Chain A
């Protein structure tokens, strides 16, 4: 089997939330939230139930482009070269598959864990799962890969790795994440695809 085996298992167990009756109705807010949480916990025990949430860092605002250069510059706009912050900006808001927090808030990623070589066309991302035996690491890696494929030109070679020592089956995960065929196969699984899409496009993050 080429498909990311463990992943599929998780996804097939998880209840993909369906839209209940279309008639809007009101329920008692807090209780409902609690019920939802309980429901989730019963169907699938959370792998890391209480993650440490870090404060979101101030978004670095880049100096605005000067409206016009008085003299033509030999290197047009040297500030606009693709850098690690660009990559970080595109992936920091990806939601964690388990929690309503972003990867940045959970410190799975940071700007320092990304290296970019524009000339050679390489992007390397190292991420740190929240717990040693996090089986969600592969989903996170998959999300990163999809997001980068969408945001950067195809000639960039993207390497996604788990930071050394942060995961029990580190080698296997790294191998899975950088195997083109496995990734393609994984994305053809509709359940997995939906999970990835939810992580990428969900806006229900807690904001502080």
Chain B
């Protein structure tokens, strides 16, 4: 046991009201720890504190009680003996009357009431005594919010932990609680008050009716829960409060006579929140109270819902009302209760007779009602069919001859889609299928007439002859939807005959192939056909699938071949139809392949260059969409290989080779070839490589022996005659094959020396002649085959030798080629990439081989750091070491920063720097924001002089805005505020690129949120620059400027 002198000062410090709150806290913790560790006993503390607990000085007594309460709260896991517990409960219960020291008493009571049995808990008689004294002595409503909160927590504890004691008190407890929470306004306390009431009510299976009435009177005042000051700063959100209030009402069906009329009344107010909440409450209450209790309210409920549904309201209210209606329909209409259905019919019947075309809102409401009733159950759906469907169909069929009854059409379409939903949910419901008067059989009886009428309507839009029937697009849209529904019923229960099915497909396919504009109708018809196709594809019966292929797929393919449709629509339709299944897509693929070959022949042999654009679109469609869909769907390798070989076969024709590069066809063809190779298996890839290798050997005009030796002998390389166009085209195509093969695919060996690689030699020959695809292919080979040292060494040998006198090597294409090779090495983390990087850096910094060479070298960094679609990416099987960009970034940046000052041409260095910064991952850049920010600003200024740097300026600006968005980046911005603002205000009038101006202004706008003390000195400068932008040529910039000006001038003035 510790000496009192060691811990009593803590007590004194806590009781002394003049100390700071942190001192209070630390002394409290100190005592609690001592008690917890059994160094002092609780009894001892109480004994020492006697004076503080009994003094007549209100302040000291309240601090003393608080200390005891707080200590007790902190030792809830420490076992206390019965006498201690009893005397403590005695003490605190007696202190409930002492309102000055109430806070401590409440904390103490809470601590005692919550104690677990194992560590010594309060006796039952004391709990009973507590609740009696509590309600006698404590007037909860007069307390401060914090104390009220404590009281509610206390009472919740009584109602949940000491249920048996609480139950003894009976209804009085509920009344006492109701009295305490009446008029509570604080959201946090209210949340607890609601919880308290909920647990109190749940204690009793049933209370007297008056008690429910009284509880309702108090609770209803809070409906709808609404904060006058917004709910941003509250612990309890509006939704939470609203939900718990709803739960209380749902907890007992005895609330029903009070709450339902109340909610219906609130539904009629103009306050949208009240409407919304009433609907939500009604929905929950209806399903909680059940059909028996709700039966009396059916009429009132329908009247109120009807008003909301049929009047134009906010979207969310209408949506909630319809959901409520659905619940009401499913709960209130039972086989022996018909009132609700009767009420609905009363409303619908007169409306159906005179629905005016201009009352669209009414029609939509009616449509939603029909849709909901028919989707709730088979039984209800059958009733709708019996009562209304025949009537609607008849009036629709009648009206087809004269002026169309579009309202009936709309309603039929709503009913149809609902009942399809029903049958899809339970496709083998025998009751519906076998019962003669079920909705399905009614539908079967009418489907003949109905589909004939609908088909007539749909055909009218595609045939020009029938001018008698003037049709509106939206009606046809509706008809198409109906036909789609009829054709997509599950296969066991088709409502239409096979002949009708065939005519539906024919008519819809006709819309697709005849309408040559992309309208809503065209698009939704395509959607419909895709739906029908997927259902047919998934059914066991193959008949429908076969019919679909014959009538839709082949029809569209022939439309495509005869090009009756614009190309983009045709391709969209083909892709959509192809997505129905693998078989269909393969059919599409085959036709597209044929057309591609035909077009290649037409363009290259017959010189129809106008077809070039079509060919390019076809190639893009083929490789970008069909092949990628098929490769996602499964094995595509065989197909891809066949087509690749087919293309190579065409290349044997010299005349095709001569013209294939015109108008960008070769680029598209190369990309297609890359895709084809990349999706093939290794075996198929090697077949393609072999085939292309043979053709190269056969067709290349310069002697193949050169390839092996030329590179070691640059003089020979330079003196050899330049290659023919055919050779270059062929090499490009071969390069695309090699770029996309995977690392495991064997490459053909050289004829002369089996140890050296034919492929590397070939590309090593063409790359120094400025052939970029060759360089890319070489880079891919080097990237994927680390063992092929010979190729790397040959490349690097040019760099190591002194070639300064030979100007040939500093052409743009060769430097670019080196950059690609460097990229291949860097990506797999090869150290030899250093030599190429150094070569490029030297060119950039010294500019000794002319500005063009230096600029090409600077752009080389973009190649190395950036991502490329065409080669060296994951898709084309490149080897990529993680974080290679970060590594390169951190080696390059210091060098470039240093050389920025001493370089011959600062612009070139800035350009290289710009590429490195903007291609590096943003997180890496932000991490070093403080180091590079000034250089970024400097580069932007330097680069903004020349129009050809506009892209780099834009990407640097994006980096700057990235830094601005980051919290650590912001600090660097604030440190260099004047410089950054200086740069941005200059870019506001950047003449070469609108995006730069717009982004600069956006950056400035977001800077207005920086601390006011920092930004106020630059405010005049900013406002001046932005005011100039109000007069910008482009609208987007002007609007951005208005926003920016507003943000800056509305800052704290």
Residue from the set B145, B229, B230, B1049 with the largest chain A CB neighbour count within 10 Å = B229
Chain B residues lying within 8 Å of A25, measured Cβ to Cβ, are 185-187, 228-229
148-169 of chain A: CB within 8 A of chain B = 150-155
Q: A172 near B: Cβ within 8 Å?
A: no
* B1046–A27 CB distance below 8 A: no
A33 to B274, CA, bound (A): 12
A152 to B273, CA, bound (A): 39
Question: Given contacts A65-B1036, A77-B1034, is CB(A26)–CB(B269) below 8 Å?
Answer: no
Q: Which residue of B lies closest to A26 (CB)?
A: B185
Q: Report the minimum CB–CB distance from B705 to chain A (whole Å).
A: 47
Q: Report the minimum CB–CB distance from B536 to chain A (whole Å).
A: 39
A27 to B229, CA, bound (A): 10
Q: A80 near B: Cβ within 8 Å?
A: yes
Q: A72 near B: Cβ within 8 Å?
A: no
Number of interface residues of A (CB under 8 A): 27
Using A77-B1033, A150-B1049, A153-B1028 as known contacts, list a sample of 14 further A-B pairs with CB atoms less than 8 Å apart, ordered by residue number in A: A24-B187, A24-B231, A24-B233, A26-B190, A26-B225, A26-B226, A26-B228, A29-B224, A29-B274, A30-B269, A65-B1036, A76-B1033, A77-B1034, A82-B1038
Contact code string A42-69 (vs B, CB < 8 Å = 1, else 0): 0000000000000000000010010000
Q: B227 near A: Cβ within 8 Å?
A: yes
Chain B residues lying within 8 Å of A93, measured Cβ to Cβ, are none
A32 to B1036, CA, bound (A): 43
Chain B residues lying within 8 Å of A30, measured Cβ to Cβ, are 269, 271, 274
Q: Report the minimum CB–CB distance from A50 to chain B (whole Å).
A: 14
Chain A residues lying within 8 Å of B1046, measured Cβ to Cβ, are 150
Q: Which residue of A lies closest to B270 (CB)?
A: A30
Q: B133 near A: Cβ within 8 Å?
A: no
Residue from the set B224, B269, B1035, B1046 with the largest chain A CB neighbour count within 10 Å = B1035
A-B contact pairs, 20 of them (CB 8 A): A24-B228, A24-B229, A26-B185, A26-B186, A26-B227, A27-B185, A28-B222, A28-B226, A29-B271, A30-B269, A30-B271, A32-B226, A32-B228, A33-B271, A80-B1034, A86-B1038, A150-B1049, A151-B1030, A153-B1027, A208-B314
Q: Report the minimum CB–CB distance from B226 to chain A (whole Å).
A: 4
Chain B residues lying within 8 Å of A82, measured Cβ to Cβ, are 1035, 1038
* B224–A153 CB distance below 8 A: no
Chain A residues lying within 8 Å of B269, measured Cβ to Cβ, are 30
A131 to B1045, CA, bound (A): 34
Q: B359 near A: Cβ within 8 Å?
A: no
Chain A residues lying within 8 Å of B226, measured Cβ to Cβ, are 26-29, 32
Chain A residues lying within 8 Å of B1027, measured Cβ to Cβ, are 153-154
Q: B19 near A: Cβ within 8 Å?
A: no
Q: B1015 near A: Cβ within 8 Å?
A: no
* B1045–A150 CB distance below 8 A: yes
Chain B residues lying within 8 Å of A201, measured Cβ to Cβ, are 1050
* B1042–A150 CB distance below 8 A: yes
Contact code string A191-208 (vs B, CB < 8 Å = 1, else 0): 000000000010000001
Chain B residues lying within 8 Å of A153, measured Cβ to Cβ, are 1027-1028, 1030-1031
189-240 of chain B: CB within 8 A of chain A = 190, 221-222, 224-231, 233-234
Q: Report the minimum CB–CB distance from A37 to chain B (whole Å).
A: 11
Chain B residues lying within 8 Å of A150, measured Cβ to Cβ, are 1042, 1045-1046, 1049
What is B's interface to A at a CB cutoff of 8 Å?
A: 145, 185-187, 190, 221-222, 224-231, 233-234, 269, 271, 273-274, 314, 1027-1028, 1030-1031, 1033-1036, 1038, 1042, 1045-1046, 1049-1050
Q: Report the minimum CB–CB distance from B663 to chain A (whole Å).
A: 15
What is A's interface to B at a CB cutoff of 8 Å?
A: 23-30, 32-33, 62, 65, 76-77, 79-80, 82, 86, 90, 150-155, 201, 208
* B1031–A155 CB distance below 8 A: yes
Q: Which residue of B lies closest to A121 (CB)?
A: B1031
Chain B residues lying within 8 Å of A33, measured Cβ to Cβ, are 271
A153 to B314, CA, bound (A): 39
A6 to B404, CA, bound (A): 61
Q: Which residue of B lies closest to A22 (CB)?
A: B229
A65 to B1033, CA, bound (A): 13
A80 to B1033, CA, bound (A): 7
Q: Report the minimum CB–CB distance from A138 to chain B (whole Å).
A: 23
Q: Report the minimum CB–CB distance from A142 to chain B (whole Å).
A: 17
* B1042–A86 CB distance below 8 A: no
Interface of chain A: mostly helix, strand, loop or mixed: loop
A24 to B269, CA, bound (A): 25
Q: Report the minimum CB–CB distance from A208 to chain B (whole Å).
A: 8
A76 to B186, CA, bound (A): 61
* B228–A86 CB distance below 8 A: no
Q: Which residue of A lies closest to B1037 (CB)?
A: A80
Q: Report the minimum CB–CB distance from A161 to chain B (whole Å).
A: 23
Q: Report the minimum CB–CB distance from A146 to chain B (whole Å).
A: 11
Q: Which residue of B lies closest to A30 (CB)?
A: B271
Chain B residues lying within 8 Å of A208, measured Cβ to Cβ, are 314
A77 to B1037, CA, bound (A): 13
Q: Report the minimum CB–CB distance from B271 to chain A (whole Å).
A: 5
A23 to B227, CA, bound (A): 11
Top 5 nearest A-B pairs (CB, nearest first) are: A29-B226, A153-B1031, A25-B185, A24-B229, A153-B1030
Q: Report the minimum CB–CB distance from B404 to chain A (whole Å).
A: 27
Q: Report the minimum CB–CB distance from B690 to chain A (whole Å).
A: 42
Chain A residues lying within 8 Å of B1049, measured Cβ to Cβ, are 150
A163 to B589, CA, bound (A): 66
* B274–A23 CB distance below 8 A: no
Q: Report the minimum CB–CB distance from A149 to chain B (whole Å).
A: 10
A180 to B1050, CA, bound (A): 22
A151 to B224, CA, bound (A): 41
Residue from the set A24, A77, A201 with the largest chain B CB neighbour count within 10 Å = A24
A28 to B145, CA, bound (A): 19
Chain A residues lying within 8 Å of B1030, measured Cβ to Cβ, are 151-153
Chain B residues lying within 8 Å of A90, measured Cβ to Cβ, are 1042
Q: Which residue of B lies closest to A154 (CB)?
A: B1027
A169 to B271, CA, bound (A): 38
* B185–A86 CB distance below 8 A: no
A77 to B1031, CA, bound (A): 14
Chain A residues lying within 8 Å of B271, measured Cβ to Cβ, are 29-30, 33
A25 to B187, CA, bound (A): 7
* A24–B1042 CB distance below 8 A: no
A152 to B1041, CA, bound (A): 10
Question: Given contacts A152-B1030, A153-B1027, A153-B1031, is CB(A27)–CB(B228) below 8 Å?
Answer: yes
Q: Which residue of A lies closest to B234 (CB)?
A: A24
A154 to B1023, CA, bound (A): 13
Q: Which residue of B lies closest to A34 (CB)?
A: B271
A86 to B1027, CA, bound (A): 17
Chain A residues lying within 8 Å of B225, measured Cβ to Cβ, are 26
Residue from the set A28, A77, A152, A154 with the largest chain B CB neighbour count within 10 Å = A28
Chain A residues lying within 8 Å of B234, measured Cβ to Cβ, are 24
Chain A residues lying within 8 Å of B222, measured Cβ to Cβ, are 26, 28
Chain B residues lying within 8 Å of A23, measured Cβ to Cβ, are 145, 186
A82 to B1036, CA, bound (A): 11
Q: Which residue of A lies closest to B312 (CB)?
A: A208
Q: Report the minimum CB–CB distance from A70 to chain B (whole Å).
A: 13
Q: Report the minimum CB–CB distance from A197 to chain B (whole Å).
A: 9
Chain B residues lying within 8 Å of A155, measured Cβ to Cβ, are 1031
Q: Report the minimum CB–CB distance from B1014 to chain A (whole Å).
A: 24
Q: Which residue of B lies closest to A36 (CB)?
A: B228
A65 to B1036, CA, bound (A): 9
Residue from the set B228, B1031, B1034, B1046 with the largest chain A CB neighbour count within 10 Å = B228
Contact of A26 among B145, B187, B1036, B1038 (CB under 8 A): B187
A29 to B241, CA, bound (A): 14
A153 to B1030, CA, bound (A): 5
Q: Report the minimum CB–CB distance from B229 to chain A (whole Å).
A: 4
A70 to B1042, CA, bound (A): 30
Q: Report the minimum CB–CB distance from B191 to chain A (whole Å).
A: 11
A86 to B1038, CA, bound (A): 10
A29 to B1030, CA, bound (A): 44
A30 to B269, CA, bound (A): 8
